[in-house]
Amino acid sequence: MKSQLKTQLDYVNATRKSRGEMADGILGNPKLFRPLLEIALEEHSDLGSRACWILEFTFKKRPELLYPHLDLFFSGLPELRKSSSIRPMAKICELLTLSYYKPSENHPPPLTKNHREAITAACFDWLIQGDKVAPQAYSMQALALLGLEFEWIHPELKAVVEQHYETGSPAYKARARQILKKLS
């Protein structure tokens, strides 16, 4: 099953159409979700990044597919190094926290305290590394929400955002201003 997925991932490109088609294939056969997650976390290559892209698209449509695999998901986050893998995983973390702290008509994700701590650690890492703006923006949002529960997060988040503000890109500064306003 994994080898078939790897072959399919070889043909995925960055276009929304390509990613969407592969995600639809996973949604049509949810048994493929776990092997896809394993590829995303084990392959530190372009193949792993493509798997992360598909995870994000799949998660946006059916987040509950990830719930039985949250332990695996969070255990693999610290190992991610490629920007093209981190961005979609940071987006998933942001969406998980949004759903957890601001549940809509859907049930909130079953995030344990350990899961929320894993999101916190990963998001601070991505924010401090300063590789790309998108993961930083997603991390700021997730940490702002996590700080509603863990009071030490907001002062740390504020300090990190302010420290990187002057050297940040215009997009970083825009998100930083939003977050700092919320923290005031």
pLDDT, averaged per 10 consecutive residues of the chain (184 residues), comes to 89 91 96 97 92 97 97 96 95 96 81 97 93 92 96 96 91 94 90
Half-sphere exposure of 66 (CA within 13 A, CB side): 26
Instruction: Give me the pLDDT at residue 123, please.
Output: 97
Judgement on whether residues 28 and 114 belong to the same structural domain of the protein = no
Q: Where in the sequence is the domain holding 114, given as residue range(s)?
A: 66-184
> In this structure, are residues 169 and 130 in contact, taking their beta carbons and an 8 Å threshold?
no
Q: Are residues 48 and 73 in the same domain?
A: no
- pLDDT in the model for residue 141: 96
Question: Which of 126, 145, 133 lies closest to 172, judged by CA?
Answer: 133
Q: Are 135 and 154 in a shared domain? A: yes
Domain boundary among 17, 50, 65: 65
Last residue of a domain, one of 15, 31, 65: 65
Q: Are residues 86 and 173 in the same domain?
A: yes
pLDDT at 122: 97
Same-domain status, 70 and 56: no
Both 61 and 22 in a single domain?
Answer: yes
Q: Give the closest residue to 94 by CA, choosing from 119, 118, 59.
A: 119
Same domain, 13 and 30: yes
Residues 60 and 141 in one domain: no
> Are the beta carbons of 8 and 50 closer than 8 angstroms?
no
Tell whether 7 and 28 lie within a shared domain: yes
> Same structural domain for residues 75 and 53?
no
Residue after which a domain boundary falls, among 9, 40, 65 = 65
* Number of structural domains the chain divides into: 2
Same domain, 43 and 83: no
Residue with structure tokens 């698209």?
57
Q: Are residues 36 and 109 in the same domain?
A: no
